[in-house]
Structure 1
């Protein structure tokens, strides 16, 4: 009887030890799986994607919502994008009016654990120019209407220039905001995100100094662009932007605006008219032909083409290319 009792006790002890060992192994495997899990990140368009990829490194899986080569101003998310946001850990958007769809999309989501970051938050924004009113309207009526509606105009929503990332120091702040969102969503890897950010923060500072050195003593300070995407860059480095079109690249200049641009270019001896890869160059080419100037590409980095991505281009390489283009054009 004592022998049987001893045997039963020994078997029970062995079972407990075995179960405990199994639980320990299971817990370790679960922990390893959890630690290897990457943050699923949705970025609204290319600069947000690039900054997120750089600061997140191998701890994140980033999706650029706007396809390569697509102009993002009027892009709309599809049903698949909404589904991906429902499954995401972090959503990054620029803000400042760049993505008109974000509020409606966020309100429609059931994903209450989603960490959302507006990358431009905290940056001083430039006010955008309003579209010109119909010149055929009676001037006296317009003047009277302005007087009557002066109180209402104060409450009208202000339009801002969203292209903050074209000032490298603004881009550094945007990456910092993204880094902070990653730390919030994944605090266990805080040191990793902080280290990546510090590495690229130095590169933003170096790029800023390169622009200061390259543009401080150019012969000309006037920059005629296809649309007004370069306000922050021009403000940072003492240039004067003259946009053929407004903040939206889809707007079309009327005949009077074309005449104004041509007159300005002739009076200020402008020798280069800039256009963008993702926007038709026809208007810029027309003005250049009229004044005997050349055209050149200035990339606002709203989206890269497949060829640029395949060639390894990124924010820094494109900004360096823009600087070389500016130095050449403004020193003719």
Structure 2
């Protein structure tokens, strides 16, 4: 489900030209607003009747931000439901939205390959930029996974500018921080800290909202620890190498068929390694995900006599999931249920 309609051409424009284009587009749909709020004035807007306008990159960032901001902000997501975010690119119209926002929340660690160009176009007086994964011990990722845990690369906060433009395979870093309930708490706390600084007038409400959601995430984290600690096996095969943080934090080993990008095609040698691993370890479930084709997982499952099941990387919800009222907590509980079943077969 690639979103190939967004091209990279505008990203090659000089920053000044791109900013001018964004401002013109913003002005066309401004309807009397003040445009992009500076970091020093955005907080004062919320002391009256106006809400903060917050742009988020993709689904988990939208939910985390909405839970902390509550009814004090209008939170908008750039990447629509059902769209695979790894190779999505913002249009000039998306840039125009961002110029008018008070805050932009993105995951970082290379997930949003376009963020540095956007930073340049927005300038120093643009919206507050929040890298939700700041401070997390970022794992290294490789083009060819060797079926072992990826190594840690340390606190990436000073390195993000270097690796965020590495392309859709995220360079040498794994961005899938949100798939560990433990690490998701750090992302929520980073968003909370940014809102407290931007809008101190409503600090008590932001703290209350964040504390309530972190309580839910803490319970989810405890359920993962309890549910997975006693599993008969500790390895699982997944189509997309998105679960390294979850595997690290809960004592599991991820065996990915393909790399960090969900549509990266595995080589014949990689496929053969996974088939051999599945046969040797009597793997009975091969996991695939919701936003890309399950054909590769199905091919391996047929080869080894296993079944397939969904392990959702939560890079976006489908329209059906949105209509059903599903969210990060409910989907992560479904993931836990699927893992418990597969690891105890």
Report TM bin, short chain: 0.7 to 0.9
Ranges in structure 1 where 5+ consecutive residues have no aligned partner:
1-30, 133-154
Matches within 5 A, 1:165-314: 165-314=178-327
Q: Which residue, 126, 131, 141 being the options, matches 1:128?
A: 141
Over 6 Å off, 4+ runs: 155-158
* 8 A Cα contact 1:288 1:295, kept in partner: yes
- For 1:131 and 1:320, locate their aligned partners in 2 and report how far apart those are by CA, in whole Å: 29
* 8 A Cα contact 1:128 1:160, kept in partner: yes
Query: 3-state DSSP class of the match of 2:175?
Result: coil
Instruction: Say what the alpha-carbon RMSD is for the aligned residues.
Output: 1.8
- 1:42 — aligned with what? 55
Tell me by how many angstroms 1:197 deviates. 0.5
Query: 3-state DSSP class of the match of 2:321?
Result: helix
- 1:21-41 deviations in Å (ceiling 9; x for gaps): xxxxxxxxxx99852211100
- 2:120 — aligned with what? 107
- 2:77 — aligned with what? 64
Which sits farther off after the overlay, 214-223 or 95-104? 214-223
Tell me by how many angstroms 1:299 deviates. 0.4
Tell me by how many angstroms 1:45 deviates. 0.4
- For 2:137 and 2:99, locate their aligned partners in 1 and report how far apart those are by CA, in whole Å: 31
- For 1:79 and 1:264, locate their aligned partners in 2 and report how far apart those are by CA, in whole Å: 46
Ranges in structure 2 where 5+ consecutive residues have no aligned partner:
1-43, 146-161
Larger radius of gyration: 1
Tell me by how many angstroms 1:183 deviates. 1.4
- 1:124 and 1:293, CA in 2 relative to 1: closer, same or farther beyond 3 A? same
Tell me by how many angstroms 1:221 deviates. 1.1
- 1:12 — aligned with what? none
Matches within 5 A, 1:148-163: 159-163=172-176
